[in-house]
Structure 1
């Protein structure tokens, strides 16, 4: 298995209510990342306190609100990993996610990035009126989302940073 560094970047904006569970899903990985960076994109909730509770296990970066793309870019710039993984603050990883993806990267050096499947769910804490009309398939499906991506830093550098002027959908240009 590779001995290279793996950095996890978690952008967050007012996601304190979900953040601890997301960070714990990283800490419970069977392949432990070398660094976890939370980039607080100008939150006005208790995000800083949630991160502080994890002590030195998580690095905290704060910036004025500039959007998810800017937060991801800042996390990449501050990270040291040869491999980069992103986790949105309201998403969770299964314990084998990083190990499985790193195994693919180790066995196939020509691959620059891999995605994973995702399983959608609705939090039981979500008020009933907000759940109306939401449908989450019961099975996992291929997920081409930032939280399922593992990428080599070299590929990120070749592709260029995300366009910070895109406040949503910042990963779309990577699919073109």
Structure 2
């Protein structure tokens, strides 16, 4: 059984939209676990009142993304999950999203799978996975490489984000859960899927499974809306900072081949130091 793990903190309107999209799935062969990390809005009451089918795990407000996801996965595994999927609450799943993910998972039972993403506001395709060349710290965007008529099926990638990330139990059995100690929020998903790939599990973006997302709601986007010295410091060192230098260092040390590590680190530090002001 597939268990879908959704970590939330407030923003009930997004969570409701996400859960409603799950109710509309053509395949209902899954269960949902919401990890409510101390929400202060109507989340807890609305979940209990309107979504009795949802399993709720409660946090104290200090879990952040990684520990929240891990808490949900532990609960799912205790309930008998043989597959788990992490899903952000600010996404809307296409009606056949689960069906397409399960189809691919049945055909590739040891693969880690992600989804093709669209901007919920414009309908534009915005994410289809990427490959990273650690030698030069160069990212290759699959959407730029694939013509429109090839945007179907599975495509191998270096890592995947946690938005609609399907993980077989064989992966958690071998490499454990997400690294909540060193990567409490950002990069935990890229790290986990990169570690899984290096452990021998294929990592694919499934172009037949589609999600709509709200890019403007990402922490990185919000931090950069009004650039300031405080925002710059948060970008580089805050637990929610998209350019967090410590997180990047941990990711690099765990995933970059040693011969390429010095350049990868220096290049990555430079990009983070100046990137806040360029994007």
Partner residue of 1:37 out of 33, 37, 49: 33
Equivalent residue, structure 2, for 1:160? 176
Pairing partner for 1:142 from 95, 117, 128: 128
Compared CA separation, residues 74 and 94, structure 1 to 2 (3 A): same
The 2-side partners of 1:138 and 1:108 are apart by 28
TM-score when normalising by structure 2: 0.53
Describe the shift of the 1:92–1:55 C-alpha distance in structure 2 as closer, same or farther (beyond 3 A): closer
1:116 aligned residue: 115
SS state at 1:119 partner: strand
Q: CA RMSD in A?
A: 1.9
State the 1:59 CA deviation: 1.1
The verdict on how the C-alpha distance between 1:88 and 1:121 changes in structure 2, with shifts beyond 3 A counting, is same
* TM-superposed deviation, 1:46: 1.3
Q: Determine if contact 1:7/1:33 at 8 Å carries over to the other structure.
A: no
Assess, with a 3 A threshold, how the Cα gap between structure 1 residues 81 and 54 changes in structure 2: closer, same or farther. farther
Q: Which has the larger radius of gyration?
A: 2
Q: State the match for 2:5 in structure 1.
A: 9
Further displaced range: 99-108 or 53-62: 53-62
Deviation at 1:57, TM superposition (A): 1.1
Query: Once superposed, which parts of structure 1, at least 4 consecutive aligned residues long, lie more than 6 Å away?
Result: none
Query: 2: CA distance between counterparts of 1:119 and 1:168?
Result: 23
Per-residue deviation, 1:96: 0.9
SS in 2 for 1:85: strand
TM-score normalised according to structure 1 size: 0.81
Please state how far the C-alpha of 1:139 moved relative to its aligned partner: 2.5
Which sections of structure 1, spanning at least 5 residues, go unmatched?
123-135
Report matched runs for 1:34-113 at 5 Å: 34-65=30-61, 66-79=63-76, 80-109=80-109, 111-113=110-112
DSSP 3-state at the match of 2:119: coil
Q: Count residues in correspondence.
A: 158
Q: Does the Cα contact within 8 Å between 2:88 and 2:164 map onto a contact in 1? A: no
CA distance in 2, matches of 1:164, 1:150: 18
